[in-house]
């Protein structure tokens, strides 16, 4: 989702929903009703849904509007907290902080966020490492672990930053040749590509569905500690993989990958994990809040997904090959 809504448009939407009137919202925002109406139309175009039922007498939220309003309230609240921190010089973090994260997630999202954090807080020194295993934060002298997965040590404090889960997917090319698996037992007839995740065995996929929790044993055709490697092999048509939605949602939407066995998933939320000795550290709180706010902005599309429901390609974005017909 490259065309993300602006915070200002989300604020306009929140104000209209709260006031239940374009005119009243315009008064509060010191703007015109025409401007408010225009920003709502732009936001609806961006989100590809209708947010309000409109009539000559009143407006009301659509079902999509109600769902989005809950998320928008959270996003605006977190942004306000972050803005208050930045504008309060007494709370500026200084000194060193040691952070670790998963390989792919760390490279793709956490590293650029930390770069932005350093730009704002120039007196902050960061050591950042990516790892493919769970480390004892106390033993290794670590302050913060931004991890993907729900296997968290009981002696740690954990704050959920963003919802996430893992799904099964493969390339349309692979599925055209090998057929889509009908059920989990059918995976024995498919090439499985496995990532050595911190929180799971490479030979067992622990899955959930609305009806059951189940563990299936697999014999992987290819194993790697890099989800980026596994994803590329899946795109190349080498097999079925279990991968985080944050990592594959764009490839699914543009048709490079296809969601299979869609009623099954594996919980793998995104967490900030830290030792209890740091629960009162203002420096750590600022860093966590900053990372969460940035992740909410970078990965807004995750909030619109439902576990156990299919993720579909966006037809307009799929470029089908042109077949040449010879007569």
**pLDDT tier for residue 155 given thresholds of 50, 70 and 90:** confident
For residues 113 and 172, what is the distance between their CA atoms, to the nearest angstrom?
33
For residues 139 and 310, what is the distance between their CA atoms, to the nearest angstrom?
41
CA atoms within 13 A on the CB side of 46: 19
Residues 142 and 206 in one domain: no
**pLDDT tier for residue 322 given thresholds of 50, 70 and 90:** very low
For residues 297 and 324, what is the distance between their CA atoms, to the nearest angstrom?
43
Count the Cβ atoms, other than its own, within 10 Å of residue 115: 11
Residue 148 lies in a domain: yes
Query: Per the structure, how many domains does the chain have?
Result: 3
Query: Burial level of 280, CB count in 10 A (0-12/13-18/19+)?
Result: exposed
Of 173 and 155, which is predicted with more confidence? 173
**What pLDDT does 174 receive?**
97
CA atoms within 13 A on the CB side of 292: 27
* Residues paired with residue 270 on neighbouring β-strands, in sequence order: 148, 162
> DSSP code of 26?
H
For residue 110, give the CATH number of its domain: 3.40.190.10
Residues 189 and 227 in one domain: yes
Position 196 pLDDT exceeds 90: no
For residues 84 and 88, what is the distance between their CA atoms, to the nearest angstrom?
6
Residues 226 and 286 in one domain: no
Residues 129 and 276 in one domain: yes
Residues 140 and 280 in one domain: yes
Residues 214 and 311 in one domain: yes
CB 175 within 8 A of CB 258: yes
Last residue of a domain, one of 48, 70, 86: 86
CB 168 within 8 A of CB 240: yes
Q: What are 71-99's pLDDT values in tens digits?
A: 888 888 777 777 766 666 556 778 889 99
Q: What is the mean pLDDT of the chain?
A: 87
**What pLDDT does 94 receive?**
80
| Cα separation values, 135 from 31, 48, 140, 156, Å | 52, 42, 7, 12
Last residue of a domain, one of 41, 68, 86: 86
- Section 13-31 average pLDDT: 89
- pTM score over 0.75: no
Residues 61 and 141 in one domain: no
Residue 283 lies in a domain: yes
Residues 311 and 227 in one domain: yes
**pLDDT tier for residue 199 given thresholds of 50, 70 and 90:** low
For residues 131 and 41, what is the distance between their CA atoms, to the nearest angstrom?
44
Last residue of a domain, one of 31, 62, 86: 86
User: Could you tell me if residue 48 is left (phi over 0), alpha (psi between -120 and 50 degrees) or otherwise beta?
Assistant: left
Tell me the residue range of the domain where 31 lies: 7-86
Mean pLDDT is lowest, of 177-191, 267-281, 288-302, for: 267-281
Strands (E), the chain: 52-54, 59-61, 95-102, 124-131, 144-148, 156-162, 165-170, 192-195, 204-208, 213-217, 222-224, 240-244, 258-260, 266-267, 270-275
For residues 308 and 102, what is the distance between their CA atoms, to the nearest angstrom?
25
- Section 105-127 average pLDDT: 93
**What pLDDT does 316 receive?**
57
Residue 325 lies in a domain: no
- Section 193-215 average pLDDT: 85
For residues 113 and 164, what is the distance between their CA atoms, to the nearest angstrom?
18
CB 254 within 8 A of CB 314: yes
Residue 324 lies in a domain: no
Position 2 pLDDT exceeds 80: no
- Section 221-240 average pLDDT: 94
**What pLDDT does 325 receive?**
42
Position 293 pLDDT exceeds 90: yes
Residues 230 and 312 in one domain: yes
**pLDDT tier for residue 311 given thresholds of 50, 70 and 90:** very high
**pLDDT tier for residue 200 given thresholds of 50, 70 and 90:** low
């Amino acid at each position: 989702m490259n065309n993300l809504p602006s915070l200002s448009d989300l604020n306009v939407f929140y104000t209209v929903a709260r006031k239940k009137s374009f005119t009243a919202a315009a008064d509060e925002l010191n703007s015109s009703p025409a401007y408010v109406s225009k920003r709502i139309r732009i936001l609806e175009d961006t989100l590809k849904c209708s947010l309000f039922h409109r009539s000559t007498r009143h407006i009301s939220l659509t079902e999509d509007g109600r769902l989005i309003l809950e998320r928008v309230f959270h996003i605006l609240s977190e942004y306000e907290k972050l803005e208050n921190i930045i504008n309060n010089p007494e709370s500026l973090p200084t000194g060193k902080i040691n952070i670790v994260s998963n390989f792919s997630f760390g490279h793709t999202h956490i590293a650029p966020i930390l770069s932005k954090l350093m730009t704002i807080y120039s007196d902050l020194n960061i050591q950042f490492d990516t790892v493919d295993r769970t480390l004892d934060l106390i033993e290794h002298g670590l302050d913060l672990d931004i991890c993907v997965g729900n296997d968290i040590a009981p002696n740690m404090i954990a704050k959920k930053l963003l919802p996430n889960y893992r799904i099964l997917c493969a390339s349309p090319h692979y599925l055209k040749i090998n057929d889509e698996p009908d059920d989990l037992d059918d995976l024995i007839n498919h090439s499985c590509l496995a990532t050595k995740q911190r929180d799971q065995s490479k030979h067992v996929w622990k899955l959930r569905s609305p009806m059951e929790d189940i563990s299936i044993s697999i014999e992987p055709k290819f194993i790697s500690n890099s989800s980026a490697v596994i994803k590329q092999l899946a795109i190349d048509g080498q097999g079925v993989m279990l991968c985080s939605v944050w990592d594959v949602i764009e490839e699914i939407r543009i048709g490079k990958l296809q969601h299979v066995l869609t009623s099954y998933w594996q919980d793998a939320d995104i967490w900030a994990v830290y030792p209890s000795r740091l629960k009162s550290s203002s420096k750590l709180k600022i860093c966590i809040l900053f990372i969460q706010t940035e992740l909410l902005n970078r990965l807004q599309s995750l909030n619109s997904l439902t576990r156990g429901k299919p993720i579909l390609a966006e037809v307009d974005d799929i470029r089908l090959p042109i077949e040449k017909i010879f007569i």
